[in-house]
């Protein structure tokens, strides 16, 4: 079953040249899709279109067979949780309260999160190893901590599809590994997961579907081992690079070397 489908999707900012040009592809339920590409290729723009945040110049995005722009925000939020690169908040919400906002699609207009909602928050924070941030203001935590906080917020939203825009960009090595493991585990639990990254290793280590978007708006999508190779990396990133695959039982690793 296709949970997301782009049909001849073209997007441009104002009257400028299109960033995305006539893209058509689908994402199956339960997929783990890693979107790669150079700066300015349109990765963040593409996932914003897939989440219904941007209106394309032409074409459409279908969410479970329905045009996403025809759905209301609550309906979309029941199906998709989007984790941006950065939290931009003007008010110093406590981290625990900010994460609890992820329950908003299930609450009435004047209903506050209850004990069960906050238990979900505490469980998610413990899972991500950030329980110590519970009473801190969101305006007083680091960029890496903020990414982990926003991932918790998405998890307790209980969507079918999780969309992450560069979830490891501000994280140290240990937290990068922790987040990649979490993404893999969430996919194993049945979530459809889409993430952007600049690191080809991530696509191979997650061992799912890779989508490579070049600066000309051309999208190549397929199994990671088929899409990520020395030739494709050279075409998209413009540099000679060696991609070696090391496989073992239940484990796949990728080593990229540009030196």
Residue 76: per-residue pLDDT: 94
β-pair type (20-28, 219-223): unpaired
CA distances from 25 to 14, 38, 179 (A): 24, 20, 27
Residue ranges for the chain with pLDDT beneath 70: 244-259
Q: How far apart are CA 144 and CA 248, in angstroms?
A: 32
Measure the CA angle with vertex 25, ends 200 and 178; round to 5°.
Answer: 35
Residue 97: per-residue pLDDT: 95
- What is the DSSP code (8-state) at residue 137? B
Measure the CA angle with vertex 224, ends 38 and 23; round to 5°.
Answer: 55
In CATH, 2-93+143-257 is 3.40.50.300: yes
Residue 251: per-residue pLDDT: 45
pTM for the whole structure: 0.86
Residue 242: per-residue pLDDT: 73
Cβ atoms of 96 and 121 closer than 8 Å: yes
Residue 226: strand, helix, or coil: helix
Q: 137, exposed or middle or buried, with CB in 10 Å at 0-12, 13-18, 19+? A: middle
């Amino acid at each position: 079953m296709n949970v997301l489908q782009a049909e001849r999707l073209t997007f441009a900012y104002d009257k400028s040249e299109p960033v995305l040009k006539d893209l058509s592809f689908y994402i199956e339920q339960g997929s783990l899709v890693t979107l790669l590409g150079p700066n300015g290729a349109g990765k963040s723009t593409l996932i914003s279109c897939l989440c219904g945040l941007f209106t394309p110049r032409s074409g459409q995005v279908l969410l479970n067979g329905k045009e996403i722009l025809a759905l209301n925000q609550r309906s979309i939020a029941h199906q998709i949780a989007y984790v941006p690169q950065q939290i931009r908040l003007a008010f110093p919400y406590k981290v625990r309260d900010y994460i609890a906002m992820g329950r908003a699609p299930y609450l009435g207009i004047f209903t506050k999160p209850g004990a069960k909602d906050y238990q979900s928050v505490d469980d998610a924070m413990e899972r991500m190893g950030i329980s110590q941030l519970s009473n801190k203001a969101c305006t007083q935590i680091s960029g890496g901590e903020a990414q982990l906080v926003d991932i918790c917020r998405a998890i307790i939203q209980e969507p079918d599809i999780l969309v992450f825009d560069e979830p490891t960009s501000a994280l140290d090595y240990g937290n990068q590994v922790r987040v990649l493991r979490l993404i893999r585990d969430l996919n194993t639990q049945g979530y459809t997961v889409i993430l952007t990254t600049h690191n080809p290793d991530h696509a191979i280590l997650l061992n799912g579907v890779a989508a490579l978007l070049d600066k000309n708006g051309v999208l190549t999508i397929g199994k990671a081992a088929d899409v990520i190779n020395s030739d494709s990396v050279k075409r998209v990133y413009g540099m000679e690079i060696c991609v070696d695959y090391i496989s073992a039982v239940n484990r796949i690793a990728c080593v990229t070397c540009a030196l």
